[in-house]
Amino acid sequence: MFQRTENSESLEDTSLRLKWICQAQFAGYYTANAEGYYKEEGLKVTIDPAGPNISPIQSVASGINEFGIAGAEQVISAIDNGVPIVAIAVIYRETPEALTSKKSLNITEPKDLIGKTIGVVYGDDENLYRLMLKKNGIDENSINEVPALTGVSQILTDKVDAKMAYEMNDAVLLELEGEEVNVLKFRDFGVKVYADTIFTTREMIEKEPEKVRKFLKASIKGWKEAINNPEKAINQLLETNPSLNYDHQLGYLKGSIPIILTDKNIGYSEEAVWQDMINNLYDFGTKKNKIEANQVFTNKFLE
């Protein structure tokens, strides 16, 4: 699929497909490149952004990229549908999904959503919202749901009372607009799921395990550096995407740290959490098979 680059350092080419555009959510990988960590492992890594019409799972499964980032639910769904991929590290070990609102509305817990208009992100992440409602005994019919739009205009213009988004995204944007905000974090109300996950194909694991190990080693090192020096990491990120707002991205990265560093072992995941996610998705009727967690993930390349 990928050939060894013929140059003086004999670096091996590989590539990573992000789940979205270049932004602080992926700072660790850009830091790993900028600091030469991939190069130290003998790798030349191309980082490819995604977008609304680009699927990281399709990109990896089809051989366009060797590694990808996707939500843990997306990985489960793909494996449930027979796509031969495996999660090899979890970076966001708590879900960052949340409902953001103006502080004046006093939406601080699930019962405060009753009678409100909520911007919902339909698709995979919608399951997390519905799981949060279910775990807290909230009837979906008591809420007026509308499609969430990208950005914070719906909140600023009072078209919605609260909107789904990553907890470190809309909140920072609203604060930059001078708004005080409340953030109802799903993870604070019974939703224990993984989010941003590094995955590759089963074939890659079987045929090039050392390459997988080297890629993860450098990536985790990049994340540690980005967490320890967030200002530097964001400046490096802006070299790739100068259109980004520095303050927004710095807030985004700092807001990500608590859900990456749930302990010091960046990347590790637990079988029980994976199995609970699988069971919840099956119970919701969004997955056909109640697959076993050991079919979905491995920690062996982090050891």
CB 278 within 8 A of CB 290: yes
Residues for the chain: how many in total?
Answer: 303
Tell me which residues of the chain have a pLDDT lower than 70: 1-9, 124, 286-287
Domains of the chain: 12-94+194-302 (3.40.190.10), 97-189 (3.40.190.10)
What's residue 265's pLDDT?
87
| 26-71 tens-digit pLDDT | 999 999 999 999 999 999 999 999 987 889 999 999 999 999 999 9
